[in-house]
Structure 1
Amino acid sequence: MTDQSITVHPIAHVVGGRVEPTDDYWGGTRAIIRIDDPRFDADSTKGLEEFSHLEVVFHFHLTDQSDLHLGARRPRDNPAWPEVGIFGHRNMRRVNWLGVSRCRLLKVDGLDLRVEDLDAVDGTPILDIKPWFAEFGPRGPLHQPSWPTEMLGDYFAPGHTD
Structure 2
Amino acid sequence: MEIKLQSIATVKNSRIEPIDDEWEAIIGDIELSSHIPTEAFDNISNFSHLEIIYFLDKVDKKDVIFSGQPRGNPNYPSMGIFAQRKKDRPNTIGLATVELLEHNGRTLKVKFLDAINGTPILDIKPVFKEYEPKSEIKQPNWVADLMKNYW
Q: TM-score, normalised by structure 1?
A: 0.89
Q: Are 1:31 and 2:9 an aligned pair?
A: no
Give a deviation string over 1:3-61, Cα, whole Å, max 9, x none: x21111100001123111111110021111001141x2222111100111110000111
Contact (CA 8 Å) 1:55, 1:100: kept in 2 or not?
A: yes
SS in 2 for 1:66: helix
The match for 2:57 is 61
Considering only aligned residues, what root-mean-square deviation do their CA atoms show, in Å?
A: 1.1
Give a deviation string over 1:82-138, Cα, whole Å, max 9, x none: 111111110111111100011111111111011112100110000001111121111
- Of Structure 1 and Structure 2, the greater strand share is in 2
SS in 2 for 1:143: coil
> How many aligned positions are there?
151
Q: Are 1:6 and 2:7 an aligned pair?
A: no
The match for 1:130 is 125
Q: Are 1:117 and 2:107 an aligned pair?
A: no
Cα separation, 2, equivalents of 1:85 and 1:37: 38
The match for 1:151 is 146
The residue type equivalent to 1:16 in the other structure is N
Gaps of 5+ in 1: 157-162
The match for 2:99 is 104
| Distance change in 2, residues 1:17/1:51 (3 Å) | farther
Runs (4+) of structure 1 exceeding 6 A deviation are none
| Distance change in 2, residues 1:58/1:76 (3 Å) | same
The match for 1:159 is none
Q: TM-score, normalised by structure 2?
A: 0.95
The residue type equivalent to 1:81 in the other structure is Y
Cα separation, 1, equivalents of 2:41 and 2:58: 28
The match for 2:72 is 77
Q: What percentage of residue pairs aligned between the two structures are identical?
A: 36
